């Protein structure tokens, strides 16, 4: 992991309008169910990550594309309102803003279908045209809702700038070895981790203390053999695991405890985690402390409906973690945040 100098974050990728229907349960294939509400929210993995990071104290620049339409205006206004620099979000004259059609059930679980729209027009040329954004950046935040060529170009620019390249491998896709070699931190959920490791099972229930902890050690070694020294595996309601082959022996596998909440809407929870992780890394926190912070932030996010509008600010996380407003540390976050909230 490389050290940036200015603590800035550059997010490259997608902006989508989230068209969300709330329902008692998700439909089976071929089935129609009645909805109980509909909303249009600003979303897209990269826009979500940028907003989350900015609300949590990061200085964030977003590189992306939207259409010349009301959804595009909504997305840029939401990001700008959260303090994100949107000067490098291009307005396409040939494609509509991307959309995500989302169904959310009474337990907060969701299904999502994405139509990329203007996101599909974002290319390496956009990255190169925004080269000044990478100068002095600390963290480059990437996902796979835009073309792999664009992601590789951004990772390459981040590496050349001396920044930490953080890749959220979602939506899952096989990635070229060049990109693997450019990534400093890989962020995956349990399913994505299993796919990346060739189908090796990683339970979302996590690995308990005792002999099964060896399973995470084997996963760490396998990731390292594939070229990834630092990996964070999120486990939903079961917290996360940090696999850091560069750490001291006792810290190579660290379990981050979950925060118990009543989930209202899990849409965008992974993006909240990613943005929070980027924000704390840019502030100088260690990977395990950044993951503990991100666990708290993403838990708060699922207690409200929507994505960006549900994201906490830094004061929300301060209160949850039990830190006073003054002297918020970059290190020493508890692995089990206290005062867990329950959403209504």
The residues carrying an active-site annotation are 271
Q: At what angle do helices 269-282 and 287-301 cross, to 10 degrees?
A: 140
Give how far the C-alpha of residue 59 lies from the chain's centroid of Cα atoms, to the nearest Å: 16
**3-state class (DSSP) for residue 85:** strand
Distance separating the N- and C-terminal Cα atoms of the chain: 39
Residue found by looking up tokens 């992974």 in the block:
270
CA distance 60 to 91: 19
Classify 22 in phi/psi space as left (phi over 0), alpha (psi -120 to 50) or beta. beta
Taking residue 315's Cβ as centre, other Cβ atoms within 10 Å add up to 13
- C-alpha distance from residue 302 to each of 29, 96, 231, 317, 330 (Å): 26, 29, 23, 13, 24
Residue of 45, 42, 17 whose CA lies nearest to 146: 45
**Closest to 311 measured CA to CA, from 46, 13, 48, 61:** 48
C-alpha angle with apex 149: 102 to 269, nearest 5 degrees? 30
What count of residues does the chain have?
A: 344
For residues 300 and 64, what is the distance between their CA atoms, to the nearest angstrom? 27
Q: Look at residues 91, 50, 48, 53 and name the one whose alpha carbon lies nearest to residue 72.
A: 91
Q: Please state, in angstroms and as integers, the Cα–Cα distance from residue 44 to each residue in 19, 109, 252, 273, following that order.
A: 11, 17, 32, 14
Q: How far apart are CA 336 and CA 154, in angstroms?
A: 34
């Amino acid at each position: 992991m490389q050290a940036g100098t200015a603590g800035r974050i550059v997010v490259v990728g997608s902006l989508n309008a989230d068209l969300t229907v709330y329902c008692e349960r998700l439909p089976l294939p071929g089935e129609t169910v009645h909805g109980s509400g509909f909303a249009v929210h600003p979303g897209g993995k990269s826009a979500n990550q940028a907003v989350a990071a900015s609300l949590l104290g990061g200085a964030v620049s977003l590189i992306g594309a939207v259409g010349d339409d009301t959804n595009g205006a909504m997305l840029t206004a939401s990001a700008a309102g959260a303090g994100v620099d949107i000067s490098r979000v291009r307005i396409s004259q040939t494609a509509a803003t991307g959309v995500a059609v989302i169904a959310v059930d009474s337990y907060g679980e969701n299904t999502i279908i994405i139509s990329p729209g203007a996101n599909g027009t974002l290319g390496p040329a956009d990255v190169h045209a925004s080269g000044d954004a990478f100068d002095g950046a600390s963290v480059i935040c990437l996902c796979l809702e835009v073309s792999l060529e664009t992601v590789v170009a951004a990772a390459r620019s981040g590496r050349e700038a001396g920044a930490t390249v953080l890749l959220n491998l979602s939506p899952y896709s096989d990635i070229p070895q060049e990109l693997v070699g450019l990534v400093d931190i890989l962020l995956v959920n349990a399913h994505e981790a299993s796919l990346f490791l060739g189908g090796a099972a990683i339970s979302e229930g996590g690995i308990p203390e005792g002999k099964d902890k060896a399973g995470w050690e084997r996963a760490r070694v396998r990731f390292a053999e594939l070229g990834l020294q630092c990996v964070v595996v999120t486990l939903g309601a079961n917290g996360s695991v940090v696999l850091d082959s560069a750490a001291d022996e006792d810290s190579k596998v660290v379990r981050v405890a979950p925060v118990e909440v009543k989930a209202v809407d899990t849409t965008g929870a992974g993006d909240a985690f990613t943005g929070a992780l980027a924000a704390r890394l840019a502030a100088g926190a260690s990977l395990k402390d950044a993951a503990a912070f991100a666990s708290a932030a993403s838990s708060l996010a699922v207690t409200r409906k929507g994505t960006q509008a549900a994201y906490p600010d830094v004061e929300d996380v301060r209160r949850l973690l039990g830190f006073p407003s003054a002297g918020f540390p970059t290190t020493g976050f508890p692995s089990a945040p206290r005062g867990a909230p329950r959403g209504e």
